[in-house]
Structure 1
């Protein structure tokens, strides 16, 4: 009875919190609110463990206050209520106390801790609130300054971004489309119509964790180019990228070289690069292909790798393999139904990942999605020990 009361109380408190915000965009002269409410059911079947079931209610709220023509204040928060077998995953994976799902829920990589488990009744349910955007943006003339928790996206590719030294993201984390933010100061100066200079300083508690870098963008030969240099945690970095087209097909590429002055020899150096092509036909059929190279990637023995549990994501760990291949095909079956199939292959061990997706626009602002995540391979292969996940998601946007 006590557990049932706590469970009902958490759900009621959560719904009351959502109802405190209008379920429509608030359009005023200086203030806007928008967001979404999602419910996702997940089934996960991995080798040697029983079928796992979990439910997640995910709410997003975005607040914008336009103080003046030059100054904007933005707050973005995500609220997540989860219950089910994910909260017992440590025991299911034989990791015991070494794996705590409550700690993963409230993990915050910023200088300021702005993630809280406001109700933690593990292993029954967890309610988390996270502020992943909280910044002031000031622009005047050719200058733009952004201070606070923000997302800084320097990548040009659509799947793997070696240039994203501040905000790397995982393709497997499909339900977090906004991506994490960092606490930083960002200064941009627009030197021309298609060129700009950008400097970023990321706040951290010590020099080894801190990142700072500069990026210069420019256009030449009908291509957009960028070059970057700076420091990411303990590494000195230098890199660049391009974006253009070849006879209508998008052609993108980027690469970053990492050097750790505290290491010696080959251990001090790493290069990660990615190139992609994508094309949309006149009938809306979309094709996308990409390749990733990681000079420190493994060529075998992936038995201890699980991308779903990787909490130390960076451009150096976008893939743990030496080579990775990606392919995607997407086609609208009707104006309101879209089918998509994406996949990754390790060409060395032959293991692969497939993600079939069906998206259905059920009504205005209401969407249904089925997302599969199928990992296949032998026990020592890159994708061999992860299993298969099947997700059913409803989303209401307001």
Structure 2
């Protein structure tokens, strides 16, 4: 059993003082919100152990303004895990893995065969505004890139296209400085330290709009790799089109390209469609060269070079919505299909059912991933 590091305790106490200061103002700009989520799922481990998991998460968010120039945002998670998954070898290995973030602001408070409790800081950022310049410090979401399934430019907060909770994007501990030159044009500089020597990230991005196209140019070093990239987004008729292109020069090995092309369309009958083609020059040329351990550890989001992703959504009624994600590995023809249905029981209370189904030939990328059936109940406040 462990607890949050002392630095985290100090940070929480400092924020409590900030909240008290905000509340003491005549017109306090302080907001408390969050959600409770219950996620019940059935699946199996990579080695074939069948299990059930009941995850209960309470997220509390505190946002406040200390002055017109100073604000903060803190999101604290407390999770309780129940089920046979706690008795699998996979969980015993995963629970002790160090955090990928620079600041290890998490710890377990219960570690038993029938119950595992963990708490963490999901977000913790402090912002200073000086006219058209903003400075953000701490754990934050830095969303560079426009990809839905993949993003060659979203290198600080990468996520796998097959992640169950895709809306959960772990933040990065970083310093972000942005200066606006108008309604759209801005320049941003980021620095994100790493615990590993030589893997600090620092980059510049210029964002602007011209001839109906939003574009961004990014250059810097991400986790030790030198990257230069371009991001484009615009319209062709009623369809939205997107593209991302990066040139990556790793510390070891040859340089390679990553490209993404996407299109989005919304029909009048509430049907929405998105499609993306993704090519990763660092991927394996054939299934015999796949590095499945890198996929399991999260150091890679994909294994091959060419993929196609499709997302469809449809509102049966204002309260009932259907969605489906499909990802195809175009090299080995393995597939990932994730249909789901959500129902808004009442204001701020949602119920969802879904399935993650993986299939393919023996040795293909998605054939080895275990399928998942789940149900979630989420109450916002």
TM-score w.r.t. structure 2 length? 0.88
* Deviation for aligned residue 1:329: 1.4
How far apart, in 2, do the equivalents of 1:384 and 1:191 lie?
Answer: 49
Residue 95 (structure 2) pairs with residue 112 (structure 1): no
1:394 aligned onto 2:377: yes
Structure 1 position 311 matched with structure 2 position 311: no
Does the Cα contact within 8 Å between 1:306 and 1:386 map onto a contact in 2?
no
Within 1, Cα distance between the matches of 2:295 and 2:89?
Answer: 13
Residue deviations 1:97-116 (CA, integer Å, cap 9, x gap): 9x613225xx4222221011
Cα pair distance change 1:318/1:45, threshold 3 Å: closer
**Structure 2 spans left out of the alignment, 5+ residues:** 1-22
Match of 1:165 among 136, 139, 155: 155
CA distance in 1, matches of 2:280, 2:214: 24
Q: CA, structure 1 residues 198+304, in 2 after alignment: closer, same or farther (shift >3 Å)?
A: closer
Q: Report whether the alignment pairs 1:300 with 2:291.
A: no
Q: Cα deviations across residues 111-142 of structure 1 (Å, max 9, x unaligned)?
A: 22101112122x32211111021111111221
Among candidates 335, 338, 357, match of residue 374 of structure 1: 357
SS in structure 2 opposite 1:383? coil
Contact 1:216 1:228 in 2 (8 A): yes
Q: Secondary structure at the match of 1:381?
A: coil
2:106 paired with 1:137: no
Cα gap change, 1:376/1:393 in structure 2, threshold over 3 Å: closer, same or farther? Answer: same
Q: Equivalents in 2 of 1:303, 1:90: separation in Å?
A: 23
Distance 2:47 2:103 in 1: 39
Is 1:152 aligned to residue 142 of structure 2?
yes
Distance in 1 of aligned mates of 2:270 and 2:289: 38
Give 1:46 shift.
6.7
Which residue among 236, 261, 264 is the counterpart of 1:246?
236
Counterpart Cα distance in 2 of 1:194 and 1:71: 23
Instruction: Tell me if structure 2 keeps the 8 A contact 1:46–1:385.
Output: no
Q: Deviations over 1:264-321 (max 9, x none)?
A: xxx2312222111010011111111101101121222377627973332xxxx33211
The residue number in structure 2 matching 1:3 is none
Contact 2:34 2:61 in 1 (8 A): yes
Tell me, in whole angstroms, the C-alpha distance in 2 between the residues paired with 1:307 and 1:373.
Answer: 21
- State whether residues 297 and 320 of structure 1, in contact with CA within 8 Å, keep that contact through their aligned partners in structure 2: yes
Using the alignment, how far apart are the partners of 1:165 and 1:47 within structure 2? 26
Closer, same or farther: CA 131–48 of 1 in aligned 2, 3 Å: closer
State the partner residue of 2:306. 323
1:383 corresponds, among 363, 366, 381, to: 366
Aligned to 1:102: 95
| Deviations, residues 245-278 of structure 1 (Å, cap 9, x unaligned) | 11111101112221124x3xxx231222211101
> What TM-score does the superposition give when structure 1 sets the normalisation length?
0.84
Structure 1 residues 234, 50: closer, same or farther in 2, change over 3 A?
closer
> 1:72 matched to which residue of 2?
71
Q: Which runs of 5+ in 1 are unaligned?
A: 1-25, 92-96
- TM-aligned CA deviation for residue 233 of structure 1: 1.6
Residue 89 to residue 377, structure 1, CA distance change in 2 (3 Å): farther
CA contact (8 A) 1:339 1:358 kept: yes
User: In the comparison of the two structures, how many residue pairs are matched?
Assistant: 355
Q: What SS does the corresponding residue of 2:89 show, helix, strand or coil?
A: helix
Closer/same/farther in 2, CA of residues 118 and 48 from structure 1, 3 Å limit = closer
Deviations 1:180-233 (A, max 9, x none): 111111100001221100000112345512100000001111010001111112
* 1:188 matched residue in structure 2: 178
2:9 aligns to what? none
Question: Structure 1 residues 206 and 47, CA, compared in 2 at 3 Å: closer, same or farther?
Answer: closer
CA distance in 2, matches of 1:174, 1:220: 37
CA deviations 1:43-92 (Å, max 9, x no partner) are: 1157873532111001111111211112101111222111223223326x
Q: Hey, what does 1:5 align to over in structure 2?
A: none
CA contact (8 A) 2:319 2:345 kept: yes
Q: Assess if the C-alpha contact under 8 Å between 1:172 and 1:308 holds in 2.
A: no
Q: Is the 8 A contact 1:70 1:139 kept in 2?
A: yes
Aligned partner of 2:57 in structure 1 is 58
